[in-house]
Amino acid sequence: MAYFLTALHKSATTNTFTRWDDVRDLLKTLWNVTLKDKNQNMLMSGSVFSSDAASDTQKGLADIVYAHMLQLDFDDSEMPPEAMSRLLQDVRHVAYNSFNNGRDALYRFRVMIPLSAPVTTEAYESLWDIIAQRVLAAGYSVGKQRGHLGLRSGMDVSKRTPASFMYLPSQACQKKHSFWIENWHTHMLDPSVWVSRAPDNAPEYEEHEAVSNQSHQLQTLMLAIRKGNQRQLDQQETRAAENRKERQRDAALAEWQAAPGGTGNAAFFRFAASLKRAGYDLIEIEQDLKAHHGDSHSHSSDRRKQIPSIMSSLRKQQRGRSRF
């Protein structure tokens, strides 16, 4: 998990857990804490962020390596949290109040769903969409999409990405509005199964402004082509892109080789995800996994057996992304 002291902080503090029960226990402990103001609280994310020194911030979409926890935020909701929990009765999760829950007689709460395997940004958004479809089917609106009950779910569409970070649990401002709902003794959400259920077309939850006119840039590009400079520019850009790609691969390989024992499963997936982010295709990724599965302190045979699962996950995520 990643923590940010405030919304203005750029750098994350991370904490590694080996059991989801420990995460649940920590969140439950924090939920019992009473705060005078929500801004006294820290923010959390279920994503792993890149520590690339070239990045201006550690909490943007471009900085995400993978996510292993889904977070849902509900604001000004007319849907009781118990109803939301019932929609997720087939997966492990906890739901708890936000600091201002109950204000104006509306629900404000969050849901934390652990994932059985890490996912890319595209897969995370597909999982969010699947849950949004369940909410719509139950009759509640999500963004501009209206449910048949005519009631707001309050499901925050701006928190659809894994770059979203939310306040840690605490007691509500008015303690009587505090609650903790737990559905823990069931299966974890399996992304490789769920991604196949994603909507064929990306749902539109919000209205978007028209794209600005880029005619000046296009005219400049055409002028460069007419002057005969484009081929040289393309060659230079290609060489620079290949160099960046190789540097990213070398950094990912070094990180995998330094992975301590007991972290092999996540570290090996992170190696594959980093190669994908660098621009390598699935064939190249599989070749690298086979060539370097024994390079860390993890058990070589376990990592070799993990390769088909990683490749299957990447293929399904790629198919899911192609629908957007």
Q: Domain residues of the chain, as ranges?
A: 2-197, 244-322
pLDDT classification of 49: cutoffs 50, 70, 90 = confident
**pLDDT in the model for residue 94:** 98
Burial (0-12, 13-18, 19+ Cβ within 10 Å), 53:
exposed
**pLDDT in the model for residue 91:** 97
From 232, 316, 236, 244, select the one nearest 282 (Cα to Cα).
Answer: 316
- Are 1 and 69 within 8 A, CB to CB? yes
pTM over 0.85: no
The DSSP element (H or E) to which 253 belongs, if any, is helix 230-257
Q: What is the average pLDDT score of the chain? A: 83
Q: Give CA separation, 4 vs 15, 164, 167, in Å.
A: 12, 11, 9
What does the alpha-carbon distance between residue 57 and residue 52 come to, in Å, rounded to a whole number? 9
pLDDT classification of 7: cutoffs 50, 70, 90 = very low
Specify the range with the lowest mean pLDDT, choosing from 99-113, 173-187, 209-223: 209-223
